[in-house]
Amino acid sequence: MKMQLAEIAKAVNADNDIEQWNELEVSSVSFDSRKVTDGTLFVPLSGNRDGHDFIKSAIDNGAVATFWSSERTDIPTDFPVIVVKDTLEALQALSRYYLMKINPRVVAVTGSNGKTTTKDMIAAILATQFNVTKTQENFNNEIGVPVTILSMEPTTELLVIEMGMDRPGQLEFLSNLVQPDLTVITMIGEAHIEFFGTRDKIADAKMEIIDGLKEDGVFIYDGDEPLLTERAKSVSQLQKTFGRSENVDFYPTDVVATPTTTTFKTNKWPDETFEIPLIGEYNVNNALAALAVADTYQIRPANMREALKKFDATENRTEWVKGSAGEQILSDVYNSNPTAAKFVLNAFTQVPTKGKRIAVLGDMLELGDEADEMHAGLAEDLDPLQISSLYLIGTHMKALDAKLIDRYSSSQLHYFSVTDLSALIMQLEKEVTADDLVLIKGSHGIHLEEVLDALK
């Protein structure tokens, strides 16, 4: 991004005259004063702290200008300031303007599970033939999406945007902001069911990603999910489906899982063998969604194959890490929900080991009134002959502990409250040997990354 301050002020309908700084050039945008570098426009947002309080820190780190809320009367006069009614709305308006200016084709991805992995796969495949910008980290909301847009280089041809949601209307806003050329829904699960109540309502909310889809756009979704196939009947744009049945457009054949990779063929290109550097057959669905996008943009099958084999997955999404005792750790500590947990547990039990399989499971958050029941439901995927040692932590994991107490011995089943994470780590470190496999899975709010860091 490179824009003069005068252009930015016009794009956001600034409330003040910045004539003396019109030609000042901005090269990036940040709402975090700690991540500001030379040439940055700082965007002070309201949260637990008012971002305006960090203007000095932003300037010290290289900020050359800042947005400023018109509700505040203490407007600086010795530094380039663009006064706006609402700094978040100004950030969004600037991103909308810049998106129109660069005018890439936009791929928008959402889903209860797999959206980050699918986004990474799509971006890797498209990058074999186009200049691509993709969502970094978890920048997938009303703040992160505009920041992603503004991170584009002027040469960007395809923008791959991940879109998250935790309430109705959120995807509608984001979809209308980016006006996608293609949308993907990976699946409908139970994530955020606390806020929606039912999977039907989650599906309604996920379908909001269609609201901004261009008339000549493409809608790609899991064709084995009745909640989506029924709602897709009202979508006028071109549709493509993926899944495991032969009723969809893209389905796999010859799936083979190894401890570190999964290979498969598809009905679309039966002579090609695709490999992904992830365990779990559930990741094949994510790859099929990416292949459906690739087919839309006429990527050569050989390029698809090579890109999937080497794609760079976002950190902490089912990645193997070596522990200090020599053990292999399957880390999936960014987020969790019942569907994702079952997928990972089933994949984990298929990995051969000379030692024990040990699972560390933390609470799955935002599941509402049925949280205890959903946690207890994981019991059907836990067999002491497959996973011989369990460490459970969190309020709702107590329900799973109670469900397993007759199946696992006291030496195999360990429960900890959320305040006893350090005790869990100490006991786990005493048990783990070089021959063991360890799975760490839980919602980010349980902070199981501390367990990972301790074992590493």
Residue 68 β-bridge partners: 83
* Two structure tokens written together for 276: 């992904």
* Binding-site residues: 111-117
* Binding-site residues for ATP: 111-117
Residues 6+ apart with CB under 8 A from 20: none
In 223-333, beta strands by DSSP E: 238-242, 252-257, 262-266, 274-276, 319-322, 328-332
Residue type at 223 in one-letter notation? G
Whole-number Å distance between alpha carbons of 43 and 58 = 10
3-state secondary structure of 166: coil
Question: Alpha helices, DSSP H only, in 51-185?
Answer: 55-60, 87-102, 115-126, 144-150, 170-178
According to DSSP, residue 46 is labeled B
Whole-number Å distance between alpha carbons of 384 and 382 = 7
Element (H, E) at 200: helix 199-206
Torsion of CA 412, 416, 420, 423, to 10 degrees: -10
The owner of tokens 């011995």 is 409
CA nearest 1: which of 163, 156, 178, 162? 156
3-state secondary structure of 396: coil
